[in-house]
């Protein structure tokens, strides 16, 4: 498991160069297409994770990222750059589900939360290092030189992964699927008949609103609803927060300081959540973290609505690390652990792929909403709305009761 965590951290260091390096080349359409590609990519690669070797899929992902990066300097117009970046997004998504599945296979269920927190801890360290290094690289080197460095760095990582990345564990569920197929074929040979049932209104009662408020059958839909609200809120806030800091009077160095402090606290948050998840219930931790994140958003919104300059910097250095650092790390670890537990023994890749798709759609919806809110109202109200949504999600997690 340690190899997986270190390896994933290295991969995030490499990938995080890209946004800073390409920022002058990408128009809004480029990033929008990348976000749109992320949605089908999650379900496609999740589906593939159930049908191919997970290590091979991770290697394919690295190869699919390195080649477009190496070729990026030869893209001389915006459409080609847009398509190439979308390809990088699509291929980088291929490694997400296999990494999560390897976490699940590396420990007993009771340790999933702690192990996933450690996994995310090293990922966050990689993101922070990438953010810092990329800030200096764009000053010292041309964009095309950075792109080549990135491409060959991922290529070196691909070669190293052949040795250091652990092979997936063959679990009982795969043998059970084979046995299931054999049983089905034997049954069909002895009794070659199938009876079809026409659907009726009772088959759709699981979608009724009455069931949504009836414990414990509402556990899974409410869990997904709470997670959807969290990521819609994150899309509303994160899409415009850096721009909001500029509008409210901060310079580039101050914005970078706020974001960097947030990442430092996120690393600390994952370290804390690793310990908490060994002793506390995931639903309780998710509930508390959503309250902390929601209140932090609301306070940031109030400051953005009333002040400019130094008060914005001070509030950002205090409440953004609480929201994007501590609260995010605890919620992300606890909610992902809850999803791991309901995926089941079969079609795990597809289940996690569906989850990633839901997350992608929620973030995309939140991003669209943030544009309208900030354009027609203000940044402060945008942050406050995001906080209120999180407080609503916190009530859902408090209400959750597992069957």
Has residue 79 got a pLDDT over 70? yes
Q: Please report which confidence band the pLDDT of residue 33 belongs to, taking 50, 70 and 90 as the band edges.
A: low
pLDDT per residue as tens digits for the range 52-66? 777 888 888 889 888
Has residue 177 got a pLDDT over 50? no
Q: Which residues contact 339 (CB under 8 A, 6 or more apart)?
A: 223, 227, 351, 352, 355
Tell me, yes or no, if the pTM score tops 0.85.
Answer: no
Report pLDDT for 93. 81
pLDDT per residue as tens digits for the range 192-239? 655 555 555 554 454 456 666 666 667 788 888 999 999 999 989 988
Cα-based distances in Å from 166 to 4, 48, 340, 346: 7, 19, 20, 21
Q: Please report which confidence band the pLDDT of residue 318 belongs to, taking 50, 70 and 90 as the band edges.
A: very high
Report pLDDT for 165. 77
Give the pLDDT mean for 158-181. 62
SS3 letters across 193-250: CCCCCCCCHHHHHHHCHHHHCCCCCCHHHHHHHHHHHHHHHHHHHHHHHHHHHHHCCC
Residue 122: in which H helix or E strand, if any? helix 112-140
CA atoms within 13 A on the CB side of 267: 14
Has residue 290 got a pLDDT over 90? yes
Highest mean pLDDT among 39-48, 52-61, 174-183: 52-61
Burial class (CB in 10 A: 0-12, 13-18, 19+), 391: middle
Q: Please report which confidence band the pLDDT of residue 301 belongs to, taking 50, 70 and 90 as the band edges.
A: very high
Report pLDDT for 34. 65
Has residue 312 got a pLDDT over 90? yes
Report pLDDT for 25. 41
Report pLDDT for 127. 74
How far is 262 from 247, CA to CA, in rounded Å? 19
pLDDT per residue as tens digits for the range 342-394? 775 555 656 676 777 788 788 888 888 888 898 889 999 999 999 999 999 99
DSSP result, 282-310 = HHHHHHHHHHHHHHHHHHHHHHHHH--SH
């Amino acid at each position: 498991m340690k190899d997986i965590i270190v390896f994933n951290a290295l991969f995030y260091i490499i990938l995080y160069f890209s946004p800073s390096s390409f920022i002058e080349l990408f128009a809004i359409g480029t990033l929008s297409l990348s976000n749109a590609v992320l949605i089908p990519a999650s379900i496609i690669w999740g589906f593939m994770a159930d049908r191919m070797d997970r290590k091979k899929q991770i290697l394919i992902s690295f190869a699919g990222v390195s080649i477009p990066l190496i070729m990026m300097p030869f893209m001389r117009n915006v459409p080609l750059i847009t398509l190439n970046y979308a390809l990088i997004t699509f291929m980088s998504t291929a490694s997400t589900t296999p990494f999560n599945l390897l976490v699940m296979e590396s420990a007993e269920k009771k340790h999933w939360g702690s192990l996933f927190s450690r996994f995310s801890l090293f990922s966050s360290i990689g993101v922070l290092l990438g953010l810092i290094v990329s800030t200096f690289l764009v000053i010292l080197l041309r964009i095309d030189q950075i792109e080549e460095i990135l491409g060959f760095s991922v290529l070196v990582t691909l070669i190293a992964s052949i040795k250091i990345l652990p092979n997936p564990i063959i679990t009982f569920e795969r043998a059970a699927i084979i046995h299931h197929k054999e049983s089905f074929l034997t049954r069909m040979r002895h009794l070659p008949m199938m009876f079809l049932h026409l659907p009726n209104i009772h088959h759709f009662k699981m979608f009724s609103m009455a069931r949504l408020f009836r414990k414990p059958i509402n556990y899974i839909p409410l869990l997904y609803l709470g997670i959807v609200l969290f990521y819609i809120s994150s899309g509303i806030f994160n899409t415009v927060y850096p721009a909001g800091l500029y509008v409210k009077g901060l310079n580039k160095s101050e914005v970078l300081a706020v974001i960097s402090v947030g990442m430092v606290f996120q690393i600390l948050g994952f370290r804390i959540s690793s310990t908490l998840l060994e002793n506390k219930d995931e639903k309780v931790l998710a509930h508390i973290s959503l309250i902390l994140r929601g209140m932090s958003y609301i306070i940031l919104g109030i400051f953005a609505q009333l002040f400019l300059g130094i008060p914005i910097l001070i509030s950002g250095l205090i409440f953004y690390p609480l929201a994007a650092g501590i609260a995010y790390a605890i919620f992300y670890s606890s909610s992902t652990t809850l999803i791991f537990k309901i995926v089941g023994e079969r079609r795990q890749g597809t289940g996690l792929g569906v989850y990633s798709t839901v997350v992608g759609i929620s973030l995309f919806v939140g991003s669209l909403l943030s544009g309208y809110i900030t354009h027609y109202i203000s940044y402060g109200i945008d942050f406050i709305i995001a906080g209120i949504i999180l407080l609503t999600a916190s009530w859902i997690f408090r209400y959750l009761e597992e069957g």
